[in-house]
Structure 1
């Protein structure tokens, strides 16, 4: 991959090459490391007398992860000559399109008696936000968009190919790791992932999909 968006339809590396690919282990590290924050939050519920210390430690962990993620993104931008200018109107357009698509599919499903069940992932996040709002809002609106887009719209697709099929496969993994419940849950996360992927490929920039992910998560918290 020499330039952004110079991808074939399909390309699959050998298993051996895939497992010696440095970016595979970067993806694993950036996927797992943000989970340290929910772990520290749970410790805070078990040991409330250390709440202040746990808040500080959690924020420091998040800032360290964010710093490394931005460093990796910057290196990849220089290496692959990604576009670093974010076009705001297309991002807003994709966000609105996802909302419209989600609204329409919810209505269509309701006509046949399918409703959106409570999502386990959302329930746990809501509970954590209530207990540790500052930490969790930082994680949901900043840290998660940056690390998840780096992993699922950049590192994993490159490890698996890269190709348009590898981008789609990685985005399907993105949907799966959010543990959607029911067909409506899978559809909702699928629409969201499709929007992020479209922005990534159409604008030829990881910054663009990070931006729309931040907008989506921020609006989700407010709503």
Structure 2
């Protein structure tokens, strides 16, 4: 039931946030700096995933309930699961965690570098809290993921498309690396 309630709240937030995006903004050209930011963010995420997998195996860190659920669903319905995790989840999560969060946290009066850093930290902790359970080790991993995504959003001039691309690439890399191991 909490997931259903969260889904409804998220849907309402996404509907509201989509109303704030102007068509001209979404149709704007992507510049070289944004592409560079995306490439660096994706490479950083892949390195983070590999380090997490290696450390997890070395230190015998238990898998998160989120990871167990995803693995089970992948076994039950692989294609819908991959489409959901690689396409739909990144779109929804980025609209909520970066789009909505930063549009409210960094209004004109709070759009200073110091506030941006604080907003990235808070956003990262919220992002991690949705993805982990009681174990502290995954908190580090997901907080770092959230901080990379938050920083990418700001460096890419708040172009949500860049974040969605990084998030999709990251989730695809997780599937690819899991399949190889």
TM-score (normalised: structure 2): 0.70
Q: What is the Cα deviation at residue 146 of structure 1?
A: 0.4
Aligned to 2:151: 198
Q: Give the greater-gyration-radius structure (CA).
A: 1
The yes-or-no answer on 1:215 pairing with 2:169 is yes
Structure 2: stretches of 5+ with no match in the other structure: 1-5, 108-114
Q: How many residue pairs align between the two structures?
A: 161
Structure 1: stretches of 5+ with no match in the other structure: 1-24, 33-64
After TM superposition, the runs of 4+ consecutive aligned structure 1 residues lying more than 4 A away are 77-84, 101-110
The yes-or-no answer on 1:120 pairing with 2:120 is no
**Which sits farther off after the overlay, 188-197 or 97-106?**
97-106
TM-score (normalised: structure 1): 0.58
Aligned to 2:11: 30
Q: What is the Cα deviation at residue 94 of structure 1?
A: 1.6
Deviations 1:126-162 (A, max 9, x none): 1111112222111100110001000000112323444
Q: Structure 1 residues 109, 221: CA separation in 2 closer, same or farther (over 3 Å shift)? A: closer
Structure 1 CA distance for aligned equivalents of residues 82 and 63 of structure 2: 20
Q: What is the 5 A alignment of 1:33-182?
A: 72=18, 75-78=20-23, 84-85=29-30, 87-101=34-48, 103=50, 114-162=59-107, 163-164=115-116, 165-182=118-135
Cα RMSD, aligned residues only? 3.6
